[in-house]
Amino acid sequence: MAKVLLEMKNITKTFPGVKALDNVNLKVEEGEIHALVGENGAGKSTLMNVLSGIYPYGTYEGDIVYNGEVCKFGKIKDSEEKGIVIIHQELALIPYMTIGENMFLGNERGKSAAIDWNETYGEADEYLKMVGLSESSRVLVKDIGTGKQQLVEIAKAMAKHAKLLILDEPTSSLNEKDSQALLDLMLKFKKEGMTSIIISHKLNEVAYVADKITVIRDGSTIETMDKHTTEISEDRIIKGMVGREITDRFPKRHNVKIGDVNMEVKNWTVHHPLYPERKVCDNVSIKVRKGEVVGISGLMGAGRTELAMSIFGQSYGTNISGQLYLDGKEVHLKTIKQAIKNKLAYVTEDRKGNGLVLTNPIRINTTLANLDSISPRMIIDKDKEYQVAEEYRGKLKTKCPSVEQNVGNLSGGNQQKVLLAKWMFADPNVLILDEPTRGIDVGAKYEIYCIINELVAAGKSVVMISSELPEVLGMSDRIYVMNEGRIAGELSAEEASQERIMSIIVSSGKGA
Amino acid sequence: MNTTMEILRKHTMKIVLVLIVIFFSVMTKGQMFAASSFQALIAQNSYVFVLATGMLMCMLTGGNIDLSVGSFVCFVGAIGGIMMVRGGMSVPVAMLLMIGAGVIYGIVEGFLIAYINIPPWIATLAGYLAFRGWGTALIGGSSIAPMPENFIKMFNGSVPDLFGGTEMNITCLLVGVIACVLFVFLQLKGRNDKMKKGYEAEGMTGVIVRCVLVCAVILLFAFKLAQAGGIPNNLVWVAVIVLIYNFITGKTTIGRYFYTIGGNVEATRLSGIDTKRIFFLAYLNMAVLTVISAWMTMGRLSAATATAGTNYEMDAISACVVGGVSAYGGSGTVFGMVIGAALIGVINLGMSLMGIDANWQMVVKGVVLLAAVVFEIMNNKEKTKD
- Digit-coded pLDDT (tens) for B216-265: 999 999 999 998 888 999 999 999 999 999 999 999 999 999 999 999 99
CB atoms closer than 10 angstroms to residue A62: 15
pLDDT at B92: 95
pLDDT in tens, B294-326: 999 999 999 999 999 999 999 999 999 999 898
Residue A149 scores a pLDDT above 50: yes
Amino acid identity at A129: K
DSSP 3-state of A323:
strand
Give the DSSP H/E element, type plus range, for residue A263.
Answer: strand A261-271
Q: Report how far residue A461's alpha carbon sits from residue A290's, in angstroms, rounded to the nearest whole number.
A: 5
Amino acid identity at B374: V
Higher pLDDT, B286 or A193: B286
pLDDT at A16: 62
pLDDT at A242: 67
Q: Which of A103-117, A240-254, B365-379 has the lowest mean pLDDT?
A: A240-254
Local confidence band at B1 (pLDDT 50, 70, 90 cut-offs): very low
Q: Do residues A42 and A220 touch, judged by C-beta distance below 8 A?
A: no
- Cβ contact (<8 Å) for B269 and A356? no
Tell me the pLDDT of chain B averaged across its residues. Answer: 90
Instruction: Tell me, yes or no, if B142 comes closer than 8 A to chain A by beta carbon.
Output: no
Q: Report how far residue B164's alpha carbon sits from residue A17's, in angstroms, rounded to the nearest whole number.
A: 62
Local confidence band at B15 (pLDDT 50, 70, 90 cut-offs): confident
Chain centroid to CA A3: 34
Sort A257 into a burial class: Cβ within 10 Å, 0-12 / 13-18 / 19+.
Answer: exposed
Instruction: Tell me, yes or no, if A374 comes closer than 8 A to chain B by beta carbon.
Output: no
Higher pLDDT, A38 or B107: B107
Between chain A and chain B, how many beta carbons pairs sit less than 8 Å apart? 81
pLDDT at A512: 41
Q: Which of B29-33, B199-203, B286-290 has the lowest mean pLDDT?
A: B199-203
Residue A300 scores a pLDDT above 80: no
pLDDT at A408: 86
Closest alpha carbon to A3 in A65, A52, A51:
A65
Instruction: Tell me, yes or no, if A16 comes closer than 8 A to chain B by beta carbon.
Output: yes
pLDDT in tens, A206-229: 888 999 999 888 788 888 888 887
CB atoms closer than 10 angstroms to residue B214: 15
Q: Which of A115-124, A282-291, B69-78 has the lowest mean pLDDT?
A: A115-124
> Residue A369: its chain B contacts at CB < 8 A?
271-272
Q: Report how far residue B48's alpha carbon sits from residue B290's, in angstroms, rounded to the nearest whole number.
A: 10
CB within 8 Å of A477: residues ≥ 6 apart: A258, A292, A293, A294, A492, A493
pLDDT in tens, A58-112: 888 889 999 888 888 888 888 888 889 988 877 678 888 899 888 888 778 877 7
Full-model pTM:
0.80
When mean pLDDT is compared over A129-138, A431-440, B55-64, the highest value belongs to B55-64
Measured in angstroms, the CA of B338 and the nearest CA of chain A are apart by 22
Q: Which of A167-181, A394-408, B14-28, B265-279 has the lowest mean pLDDT?
A: A167-181
ipTM above 0.90, yes or no: no
Q: Nearest-CA residue of chain A relative to B262?
A: A357
- Cβ contact (<8 Å) for A364 and B386? no
For a pLDDT cut of 90, what percent of chain A falls above it?
A: 37
Residue A511 scores a pLDDT above 60: no
B200, B264, B377: best to mutate for the A interface, most A CBs within 10 A: B264
- Mean pLDDT value across residues A289-294: 94
Chain centroid to CA A409: 18
Instruction: Tell me, yes or no, if B149 comes closer than 8 A to chain A by beta carbon.
Output: no
- Cβ contact (<8 Å) for A372 and B253? yes
For a pLDDT cut of 70, what percent of chain B falls above it?
A: 97
Sort A245 into a burial class: Cβ within 10 Å, 0-12 / 13-18 / 19+.
Answer: exposed
pLDDT at B118: 94
DSSP 3-state of A329:
strand
DSSP 3-state of A316:
coil
Smallest Cβ–Cβ distance between A355 and the set B259, B267, B384 belongs to B267
Smallest Cβ–Cβ distance between A15 and the set B266, B271, B385 belongs to B385
Q: Do residues A456 and A293 touch, judged by C-beta distance below 8 A?
A: yes
pLDDT at A256: 83
For A297-311, letters b (16+ CB in 10 Å) and e give: bbbbbbbbbbbbbbb
Smallest Cβ–Cβ distance between B269 and the set A17, A336, A379 belongs to A336
pLDDT at B46: 93
Residue A164, beta-bridge partner list = A84, A195
pLDDT in tens, B17-34: 888 889 998 988 888 888
DSSP 3-state of A458:
coil
Instruction: Tell me, yes or no, if B246 comes closer than 8 A to chain A by beta carbon.
Output: no
Tell me if the bond preceding A428 is cis, omega within 30° of 0.
Answer: no
pLDDT at A243: 67
Measured in angstroms, the CA of A380 and the nearest CA of chain B are apart by 5
pLDDT at B386: 41
Local confidence band at A244 (pLDDT 50, 70, 90 cut-offs): low
pLDDT at B274: 94
Smallest Cβ–Cβ distance between B252 and the set A340, A356, A378 belongs to A378
Residue B68's φ and ψ, nearest 5 degrees, are: -90, -5
For a pLDDT cut of 70, what percent of chain A falls above it?
A: 96
Q: Report how far residue B41's alpha carbon sits from residue B48's, in angstroms, rounded to the nearest whole number.
A: 11
Give the DSSP H/E element, type plus range, for residue A234.
Answer: helix A234-242
Q: Report how far residue B26's alpha carbon sits from residue B30's, in angstroms, rounded to the nearest whole number.
A: 6
Q: Do residues B309 and B294 touch, judged by C-beta distance below 8 A?
A: yes
Q: Which of B55-59, B123-127, B189-193 has the lowest mean pLDDT?
A: B189-193
> Residue A372: its chain B contacts at CB < 8 A?
253
Q: Do residues B161 and B230 touch, judged by C-beta distance below 8 A?
A: yes
Residue B106 scores a pLDDT above 90: yes
Residue A379 scores a pLDDT above 90: yes
- Cβ contact (<8 Å) for A336 and B267? no
pLDDT at A143: 83
Instruction: Tell me, yes or no, if A342 comes closer than 8 A to chain B by beta carbon.
Output: no
Q: Report how far residue B325's alpha carbon sits from residue B317's, in angstroms, rounded to the nearest whole number.
A: 9
B61, B270, B376, B382: best to mutate for the A interface, most A CBs within 10 A: B270
Chain centroid to CA A246: 22
